[in-house]
């Protein structure tokens, strides 16, 4: 056994300072980065600027890192450059959301510089950060400062300067961590919307946690301590959790209890993680509310555990799979996609709900990808949707601003001729489908689809996830808010009030048709009641009500 293998964890820093960092060390550093991000992903998710359920940055970056690590987990490769090349490939294929795609470009830049380097040194690490900066900025059409791009830029600049003092690899890594921390803290000064919302950039914070995770591993520090953050009890929203059902997690359990002794949150989270997933905890005036998804056989275990540590005052158990069956019933019969002949144009659409997917299918899409807010599909998932289609001509409709970069990455990776029509909303995607001509010229059809994006207005109604003031609109957590083409414009106490206030901002005299897609948590009866109220206000407009099945958003409006 070598000295390296025998040395205790606390000696790791000394070992790496005197031993070349090879591919297997890169694997350990990658695993540490992923582990620390996973521990802190909820912190990153909470940094959302707008008070809407979004494609959570922490989750997207974590899934991207998981894909990167899956690529190397069993690799015996000792060449640092080759190992980093595999990390970059895995990150690109698993990239989700804009943050995940940019993160994959950072890894790509690092791998590009390191490709011929058998070991990692302080000098090559600093140069690799510079390459990561250049690659990441090139991958974004309109780079915005005050984001993850700024953080990697500042890391590259400070590590380059640090080489004048020392070329020690660990010193350069620790310099990178410190640079990332300072850069994240100043992101609100560069991006006014962050300062207005009172948060730092989430993608930049995620990158900081990745770098800090590597440093913590080097220093033998803990990477797995669960978060101890607890939401206020009255802000714990548990009525939109179906989208996070994992395989085998059949029941949702909610327990209200009052601990008989001070609650050790680390131990509490740790025990819950052994039982299930989708864990949320809220606290108010000494009362705690615990939410968890568990397998059928475990459905009573969280209740028993809470009874061991306190007095249980209320219990709720829901069969999640039964709820999902009800949603599928609303969607109607199975979706039938349009068969594609060689040489025809195939359209791929991202759809956030079964009802919306069914509408896209009726308009002629050849492939569907499940996704939307909070569930951004990966680059690989998008590629898989069209790789086996019997044509080389493909158009992708992302239908969400946070999926566009992943769609473009898929288009670059395939040998097929793929064009991404940058639809940012479901109504835009549906409008684009009206211009589909399967036997037409690919570029001309894509251009026609792009033009169609401007012919429809989008309205979205959801529940505010945080208290904030954005664009002059004051929002309290729990209010019903309305967005017009992605811009927050109204916040009210009731659903119907928000719908009317939202449509009022559209200038409805210029439009004739209002299509309402209602979400998975809205009944058909509720949707029709809201439609009747809207019809009374706009008697000359045609109103259509359709089941969308989208999570989080009570309504998506298409106004034409």
Reported confidence tier of residue 290, pLDDT bands at 50, 70, 90: confident
The pLDDT tens digits of the residues spanning 154-197 come to 999 999 999 999 999 999 999 999 999 999 999 999 988 888 87
Could you give the CA distance from residue 448 to residue 272 in angstroms, rounded to a whole number? 52
In Å, how far are 222, 515, 554 from 541, measured between CA atoms?
61, 10, 21
Name the E strands within 230-276.
Answer: 231-232, 251-259
The predicted structure's pLDDT at residue 20? 86
Instruction: Give the list of residues 6+ apart from residue 179 with CB closer than 8 angstroms, or none.
Output: 154, 155, 157, 158, 159
Q: Does domain 231-326 have CATH number 2.60.40.10?
A: no
Cα 26–chain centre separation: 26
**Closest CA relative to residue 432, chosen from 397, 463, 403, 464:** 397
- Structure tokens belonging to residue 140: 């974004």
Token pair 């069969």 is found at 319
Share of the chain above pLDDT 70, in %: 89
The predicted structure's pLDDT at residue 324? 52
The predicted structure's pLDDT at residue 521? 85
- Helix (H) or strand (E) holding 516, with range, is strand 513-518
Q: Annotate 440-481 with three-state secondary structure.
A: CCHHHHHHHHHHHHHHCEEEEEEECCCCEEECCEEECCCCEE
Could you give the CA distance from residue 474 to residue 468 in angstroms, rounded to a whole number? 6
Q: Per-residue b/e over 456-465, b at no fewer than 16 CB within 10 Å?
A: bbbbbbbbbb
The predicted structure's pLDDT at residue 486? 86
Share of the chain above pLDDT 90, in %: 54
8: how many CB neighbours lie within 10 A of its CB?
Answer: 8
Token pair 């108010």 is found at 284
Which of the residue ranges 117-131, 244-258, 472-486 has the most confident prediction, judged by mean pLDDT?
Answer: 117-131
Mean pLDDT of 539-553: 91
Token pair 């928000």 is found at 498
Reported confidence tier of residue 298, pLDDT bands at 50, 70, 90: confident
Q: What does the chain come to in residues?
A: 560
- Domain boundaries defined on the chain: 3-218, 231-326, 332-455, 457-559
CATH superfamily, with its number, for domain 3-218: DhaL domain (1.25.40.340)
Contact criterion met (CB below 8 Å) for 95 and 57? no
The predicted structure's pLDDT at residue 14? 74
Higher pLDDT, 350 or 320: 350
The predicted structure's pLDDT at residue 246? 47
Q: What is the end-to-end Cα distance of the chain in Å, rounded?
A: 72
Token pair 């940058």 is found at 422
Longest dimension (CA), the chain: 83
Instruction: Calculate the average pLDDT of the chain.
Output: 86
Q: Does domain 457-559 have CATH number 2.60.40?
A: no
- Structure tokens belonging to residue 70: 């899956």
Reported confidence tier of residue 233, pLDDT bands at 50, 70, 90: very low
**Closest CA relative to residue 212, chosen from 202, 222, 227:** 222
Instruction: Give the list of residues 6+ apart from residue 548 with CB closer than 8 angstroms, or none.
Output: 352, 353, 355, 356, 426, 517, 518, 519, 556
The CATH number of the structural domain formed by 332-455 is: 3.40.50.10440
Classify residue 329 as exposed, middle or buried by CB count within 10 Å of its CB (0-12, 13-18, 19+): exposed
- The answer on pLDDT for 36 being more than 50 is yes
Please state the pTM of the whole predicted model: 0.77
Give the HSE-up count for residue 243: Cα atoms under 13 Å, Cβ half-sphere: 25
Mean pLDDT of 362-390: 87
The predicted structure's pLDDT at residue 65? 94
The pLDDT tens digits of the residues spanning 47-80 come to 776 666 655 788 889 999 999 999 999 999 999 9
Reported confidence tier of residue 5, pLDDT bands at 50, 70, 90: very low
């Amino acid at each position: 056994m070598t000295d390296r293998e025998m040395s205790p964890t606390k000696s790791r820093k000394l070992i790496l300072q005197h031993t070349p960092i090879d591919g297997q060390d890169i694997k350990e550093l990658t695993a540490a980065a992923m582990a620390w991000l996973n521990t802190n992903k909820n912190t990153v998710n909470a940094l959302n600027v707008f008070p809407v359920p979004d494609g959570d940055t922490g989750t997207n970056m974590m899934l991207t890192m998981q894909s990167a690590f899956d690529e190397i987990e069993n690799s015996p490769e000792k060449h640092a450059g080759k190992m980093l090349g595999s990390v970059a490939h895995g990150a690109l294929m698993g990239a989700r959301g804009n943050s995940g795609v940019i993160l994959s470009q950072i890894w790509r830049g690092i791998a590009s510089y390191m490709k011929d380097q058998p070991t990692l040194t302080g000098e090559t690490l600093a140069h690799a950060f510079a390459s990561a900066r250049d690659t990441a900025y090139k991958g974004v059409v309109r780079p915005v400062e005050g984001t993850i791009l700024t953080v990697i830029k500042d890391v590259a600049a400070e590590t380059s300067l640090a080489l004048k003092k020392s070329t020690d690899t660990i010193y350069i890594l620790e310099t990178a961590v410190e640079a990332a921390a300072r850069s994240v803290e100043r992101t609100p000064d560069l991006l006014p919307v962050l300062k207005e919302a009172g948060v730092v950039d989430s993608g930049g914070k995620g990158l900081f946690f990745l770098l800090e995770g590597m440093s913590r591993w080097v220093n033998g520090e803990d990477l797995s301590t669960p978060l101890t953050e607890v939401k206020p009890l009255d802000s714990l929203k548990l009525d939109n959790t179906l989208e996070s059902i994992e395989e085998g997690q059949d029941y949702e359990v909610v327990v209200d209890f009052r601990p008989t002794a001070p609650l050790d949150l680390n131990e509490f989270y740790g025990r819950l993680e052994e039982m299930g997933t989708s864990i949320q905890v809220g606290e108010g005036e000494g009362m705690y509310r615990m939410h968890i998804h568990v397998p059928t056989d475990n459905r009573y275990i969280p209740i028993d555990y809470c009874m061991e540590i306190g007095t249980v005052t209320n219990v709720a158990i829901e069969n999640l799979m039964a709820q999902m069956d009800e949603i599928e019933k609303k969607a109607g019969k199975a979706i039938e996609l349009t068969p594609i002949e060689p040489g025809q144009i195939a359209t791929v659409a991202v759809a956030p709900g079964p009802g919306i997917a069914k509408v896209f299918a009726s308009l002629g899409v050849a492939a569907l990808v499940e996704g939307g807010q909070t569930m951004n599909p990966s680059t690989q998932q998008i590629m898989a949707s069209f790789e086996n289609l019997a044509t080389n001509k493909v158009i992708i409709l992302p239908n969400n601003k946070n999926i566009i970069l992943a769609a473009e990455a898929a288009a670059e990776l395939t040998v097929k001729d793929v064009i991404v029509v940058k639809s940012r909303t479901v109504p835009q995607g549906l409008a684009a489908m009206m211009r589909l001509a399967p036997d037409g010229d690919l570029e001309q059809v894509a251009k026609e689809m792009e033009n169609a994006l401007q012919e429809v207005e989008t309205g979205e109604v959801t529940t505010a996830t945080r208290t904030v003031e954005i664009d002059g609109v004051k929002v309290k957590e729990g209010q019903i808010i309305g967005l017009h083409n992605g811009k927050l414009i109204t916040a009210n106490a009731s659903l119907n009030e928000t719908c009317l206030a939202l449509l009022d901002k559209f200038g409805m005299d210029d439009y004739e048709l209002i299509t309402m897609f209602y979400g998975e948590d809205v009944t058909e009866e509720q949707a029709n009641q809201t439609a009747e109220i809207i019809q009374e206000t706009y008697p000359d407009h045609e109103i259509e009500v359709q089941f969308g099945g989208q999570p989080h958003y009570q309504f998506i409006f298409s106004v034409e």
